[in-house]
Amino acid sequence: MRKLGFRTALIVREGAELARRCGEEGFSLYYIDFSSKFNVPAWLKLLRLLWQLKPAVVNTHSSEDSWMAGCAARLCGVPLIARTRHVLAPVSSAFSYNAFPHIIFACSEAIAIQIAEQGVRREKIVVQSTGIDEERFQFSSRDREDIRRKYGLADADVLVGNVAFLRHYKGHEFIARTAESLPKQFKFMIVGGGNGRALLEEAIAKAGVQDRFILTGHREDPERFFSAMDMIFFSSYETEGISQSFIQGLLYGLPLLTCRTPSILEPLEFVRTYRLVDYGDVAAATKALLELSTHTAQDKGLVQRQRRDIAAKYGLKRMMENIVHVYRDHGVSVDSAS
């Protein structure tokens, strides 16, 4: 939005990782304690801030900030208030969705259906997933060679990959249990950090596959690791919208095994080679990975077609076009917001 000429700022809690990263990128930052909607001093500070900034758009992203900033933006007469819903999980109340935002960005069609069924007015909902930079996420033979050499992978090894935060609902324990049933040449790489690492390491040890698992920790360059993989095992089983790492992986055209999570099924209309399993079904996952391992030779034409299809719907460029279009429909343009 900033590159398009919009004046941009973030209102976040002090000490947040988002604040640190955006500060390094030169964004304007303002600090509000969103820990409780009953925090009267935070309300007063927020009202003063919005009155001072006079934004054309306020976009909120979770429960407390949506109550506070959504209501405060209404009181301050902000022309367009948006709320983004990222997760597929029941909402506690439809009231704040109907009362404060003019529009609701749902990150998948499944999320849109769910919140509408819970009483959120359907005419407010716009389905828009988080856009992925298709220029950044593309195959590199050099990255493949470097990463596989760094982690001691042989040419004959079949690398099954997953990129995600280490959290319980990402289902990594399922990958560990499946690994136990597969031949030794199947190796597994999970790219990401998080507070679920200790539990994952315990699951890997219990399955006795420590020698076949690579945990890279948090990486700022996940695009390089996709190039090293032979297939993807996306094991999330609840609450996902359309995961960013899921779409990133689809841009590489790799064979895919995924659980039947509603939002994740939506992009599969563009995917050439995939299998579906129920979370926890080790026998089905084992069979699927063995089948997919026979499809690791890439047809460049099919990969490029999949990339084009995915980018056309889920790419960063398409997301920006859609958001600017929605803003314009509600009377907000770069001239009114800069």
pLDDT digits (tens, 9 = 90+) for 118-177: 999 999 999 999 999 999 999 999 999 999 999 999 999 999 999 999 998 899 999 999
Do both 201 and 321 map to the same domain?
no
Do both 127 and 73 map to the same domain?
yes
Do both 145 and 253 map to the same domain?
yes
Do both 168 and 85 map to the same domain?
no
Phi first, then psi: what are they for 18, rounded to 5°? -60, -40
Q: Give the CATH number for residue 109.
A: 3.40.50.2000
Q: For the chain, report the end-to-end CA distance as a whole number of angstroms.
A: 10
- How much is the pLDDT for 212? 96
CA distance 245 to 192: 10
Strand partners, 103: 82
Instruction: Please choose, from the candidates 266, 271, 239, the residue with its C-alpha nearest in 3D space to the C-alpha of residue 253.
Output: 271
Number of domains in the chain: 2
In this prediction, residues 26-49 reach a mean pLDDT of 93
pTM for the predicted model, two decimal places: 0.87
- How much is the pLDDT for 337? 61
For residue 228, pLDDT over 90 is answered with: yes
Q: Residues of the chain with pLDDT > 90: what percent?
A: 82
In this prediction, residues 178-192 reach a mean pLDDT of 97
Do both 13 and 73 map to the same domain?
yes
Radius of gyration of the chain (CA): 22
Q: 56 by DSSP, 3-state: which?
A: coil
Q: Is residue 4 part of a domain?
A: no
Do both 145 and 285 map to the same domain?
yes
Do both 114 and 155 map to the same domain?
no
In this prediction, residues 273-277 reach a mean pLDDT of 96
CA distance 110 to 112: 5
How does residue 237 score in pLDDT terms, banded at 50, 70 and 90? confident
Do both 83 and 145 map to the same domain?
no
Cα dihedral angle (80, 110, 88, 222), rounded to 10 degrees? -90
CA distance 80 to 53: 14
User: Tokens 């499946």 label which residue?
Assistant: 178
Q: Is residue 17 part of a domain?
A: yes
β-strands 158-163, 186-191 pairing: parallel
Do both 57 and 171 map to the same domain?
no
User: Tokens 């026979």 label which residue?
Assistant: 294
- How much is the pLDDT for 241? 77
For residue 336, pLDDT over 80 is answered with: no
In this prediction, residues 256-263 reach a mean pLDDT of 91
Q: Is residue 136 part of a domain?
A: no
> Which residue type is seen at 196?
G
Do both 168 and 287 map to the same domain?
yes
Instruction: Specify whether the CB–CB gap between 100 and 83 falls below 8 A.
Output: yes
Do both 192 and 294 map to the same domain?
yes
Question: pLDDT tens-digit profile of 41-51?
Answer: 999 999 999 99
Q: Which domain holds residue 42?
A: 9-131+316-337
Do both 284 and 155 map to the same domain?
yes
Write down the mean pLDDT value for the chain.
93
Q: Is residue 268 part of a domain?
A: yes
Q: Is residue 3 part of a domain?
A: no
CA distance 76 to 177: 53
- How much is the pLDDT for 223? 95
Q: Is residue 1 part of a domain?
A: no
For residue 207, pLDDT over 80 is answered with: yes
Instruction: Please choose, from the candidates 323, 318, 320, 321, the residue with its C-alpha nearest in 3D space to the C-alpha of residue 308.
Output: 318
CA distance 243 to 176: 21
How does residue 338 score in pLDDT terms, banded at 50, 70 and 90? low
